[in-house]
Amino acid sequence: MNQIAAGEVVERPASVVKELMENAFDAGATRIEIEVAGGGRDLIRVADDGGGIPVQELPLAVESHATSKIESAADLEAVATMGFRGEALASIASVSRFAIESRIPGADEAWRIEVVDGVATPPAPVAGPVGTRIEVRNLFHAVPARRRFLKSETAESARIAEIVRLLALARPGIGLRLVSNGRALVDLPGTEDPRRRIVGVLGAEMDGRLLEVRGEIGAPDDGTLVGLWGLVGLPETARPTSRHQRFFLNGRAINDRSLSHALKEGFRGLIEPGRHPVGVLHLDMAPARVDVNVHPAKTEVRFRDARPLHGLVRRAVRAALESADLVRDIGIPEAPGGGEEPVRPIVETRSMSSAASVPSVPSGSSTTASGHGRTTGFERRSNPGLDLQRAREAIADVPLNTAAVEVLPTLVGRDAVLQVHQSFLVTQDAEGLVIIDQHALHERVMFEQLHARFAEGPLESQRQLVPVVFDAEPASIAALETLAPLLARLGIDAVAAGPRGIAIHAFPSLLIHRRVDPAPFLAELLDRAADGQVDHEDHEAALSEVLDVMSCKAAVKAGDRLGEREIAELLAMRERIDRDGSCPHGRPTHLRIPIAEIERRFGRSPR
């Protein structure tokens, strides 16, 4: 067997686990036990209680293009099983020390074959229960290029745990256990109730915070019927990444951007633009209408026509939110006769700032709405206009403080400021009406302050009398390991506590002052890191990412009622930092409606 072709199916230990689990699914298993060592490089063992392989077929199973699952080419159109190419076992066996042991019901014993250096031994009888046990040792031992490409042991076992949890969602009825280096990372009993399985995978904190989504399009008689079922998290459970969205098509996990987009559209207006809903959604349709055979790993799926599915998901999600009374009126009337966009984000500081001398880097315009701008941190940091001394003064008291009160009469006296809906500050400048997003502005200010403060040395931290412990996925624990040195300099001391927990021993004083809850804060940060949003190889970029999350959490929130003094302080801090435009996430901190635009809308002729 060609080892290069093996790389197509077998990219890393997690792909081996996936193939072996899917074979067990196809064999009708009710329970699958997975054991790995050394992140899967040293050992992967998968045992199932499925129908097994008859001894005469055992040598075939490890031969390339040997599959028992497709009888004719016509079957390719209606693939109901997970595997159908007959390549996985042969590929895996060609890049490892491989053994398979299997017993069918009614047989007296199990039979075992080993494959070493591409050569299979004849089947030999062994003791063992009905079902199949596969052992993969020294994965990629003879393929140094592949081996080098693997991540750390913790990272690879985190990926394995991730794939096991993903596949667990596809088959709630199958009991699953994953043990890595002797620690149980996944332990899910089989259940008749898909809801229980979803809570088991997403975490107990999601219990009672999930809404059922149901929908259907097409007609049963002409094969166009598409059914949708799933659970989505309430808006409050939205996360900083889309990693907690899972889509399945006919029981197969798929990646499809348009479905993810549809889910998010369903939540439009209910969650912040930078956050993503949590959801597990299953689609079912006639196999002839999809093309699953696009990529060997079979997670990329092409639909014959994706548009109706987008609508199905969006509407069903919306309907679920509406029936739970969660959808508020978010309609915005169109500007009369206006084709152009009358309200635009401001990226220049000119007229908002009294000091107005330093042209700012237009980071708001260089960052896309969705991009969590990694480069903006650099720009901000190296901006010569940033007055470190003044920023330091400002951070001396991180909570909105009295240092800025002197400016109050000028600021509030000159231009009245109004807080509306406890979220926006409305004021004016020479050109028109200015609406400030209080959270975005404060976040921006905090970012500058934190950066300046950090340049002076490690942040102060407070030790917890009792460590704060929270549940975490293996991927987050792996991320903690890589980020720990940076976190230590930021005053966060946290360590893994058991296979699924993290304990926080110390937390930055300034975040405590801003009443930031340590557990959700770190959980979100690690979630981002596990999603690849924190580049730990680039220290500067990683620092900016972490400071972004810190400033976001420490900033006043939309919904915080601000006093007159706090409003003045916030505006004054902005002037101190003397930079403006967009918050670190690339959202604008404020909008301006030019006076001419207001006049036009009231039907006045321009002055």
- Per CB under 5 A, residues contacting Mg ion are 23, 83, 88
By beta-carbon proximity to ligand ADP, the closer residue of 99 and 280 is 99
**Closest distance of CB 171 from ligand ADP, Å:** 14
Give the pairing type, strands 501-508 and 302-303. unpaired
Residue 86 partner contact from Mg ion, ligand ADP, none using kind-dependent CB cut-offs of 5 to 8 Å:
ligand ADP
Contacts of 485 (CB under 8 A, 6+ apart): none
Residue pair 573/404 in contact by the 8 Å Cβ criterion: yes
Q: How far apart (Å, rounded) are the C-alpha atoms in residues 427 and 434?
A: 5
Residue 132 partner contact from ligand ADP, Mg ion, none using kind-dependent CB cut-offs of 5 to 8 Å:
ligand ADP
By beta-carbon proximity to Mg ion, the closer residue of 23 and 94 is 23
Instruction: Tokens for 558, please give them.
Output: 């939309």
Q: By Cβ distance, which residue is nearest to ligand ADP?
A: 83
**What SS3 state is found at 193?**
coil
Tally of CB atoms within 10 A around 322: 11
Q: How far apart (Å, rounded) are the C-alpha atoms in residues 286 and 80?
A: 10
Residue 191 partner contact from Mg ion, ligand ADP, none using kind-dependent CB cut-offs of 5 to 8 Å:
none
Binders of ligand ADP among 43-82, rule CB under 6 A? 48, 50-53, 61, 66-69
Full 3-state SS string of 319-340 = HHHHHCCCCCCCCCCCCCCCCC
By beta-carbon proximity to ligand ADP, the closer residue of 125 and 563 is 125
By beta-carbon proximity to ligand ADP, the closer residue of 67 and 551 is 67
**Closest distance of CB 454 from ligand ADP, Å:** 51
Q: By Cβ distance, which residue is nearest to Mg ion?
A: 83
What does the longest C-alpha to C-alpha distance in the chain come to? 97
Mark the segment that binds ligand ADP (CB under 6 A) among 23-31, 470-478, 501-509, 538-546. 23-31
By beta-carbon proximity to ligand ADP, the closer residue of 52 and 233 is 52
Residue 175 phi/psi, 5° resolution?
Answer: -75, 135
Residue 27 partner contact from ligand ADP, Mg ion, none using kind-dependent CB cut-offs of 5 to 8 Å:
ligand ADP
Interface map 131-150 toward ligand ADP (x if CB under 6 A): -x------------------
Q: Which residues pair with 35 in a beta bridge?
A: 45, 179
**Closest distance of CB 85 from ligand ADP, Å:** 5
Residue pair 158/496 in contact by the 8 Å Cβ criterion: no
Contacts of 334 (CB under 8 A, 6+ apart): none
**Closest distance of CB 49 from ligand ADP, Å:** 10
451 is a contact residue toward ligand ADP (CB under 6 A):
no
Residue pair 67/84 in contact by the 8 Å Cβ criterion: yes
Q: Where are the alpha helices (DSSP H) in 226-306?
A: 257-266
Q: How far apart (Å, rounded) are the C-alpha atoms in residues 551 and 441?
A: 10
Interface map 157-196 toward ligand ADP (x if CB under 6 A): ----------------------------------------
By beta-carbon proximity to ligand ADP, the closer residue of 67 and 582 is 67
Q: Name the residues that contact ligand ADP, by CB under 6 A.
A: 19, 23-24, 27, 48, 50-53, 61, 66-69, 83-90, 132
